[in-house]
Amino acid sequence: MADDLPRSNVSAITRERAERIARAHACENCGEYSYKRVIVKPATDQNRTELNEVWHAIMVCGVCGMQTELGIDAEGDVVYAT
């Protein structure tokens, strides 16, 4: 599990916690909380330095099908949502 954490921030939240944070974020299009797919992976080096992002989540809404991307920082705050 420690292999999933970026080396620059060892005290970052876990992948499981980042997934729970992503699922708790409403769909930007329809406002629902039901996702048929949530993928959480470590942030790229570029996003880590520019946005202070630790986890990157890609979610597909189960109601309208819209794809949303979230950036989550080391403390569990959402940095951006697109």
Confidence of residue 7 (pLDDT cuts 50, 70, 90): low
The pLDDT value given to residue 12: 85
Rounded distance between C-alpha atoms, residue 17 and residue 37, angstroms: 16
pTM listed for this prediction: 0.82
For 74, the domain range is 2-81
Number of domains the chain is built from: 1
Residue in 53, 65, 80 with CA at minimum distance from that of residue 27: 65
Mean pLDDT of 40-66: 96
Does residue 21 carry a pLDDT above 80? yes
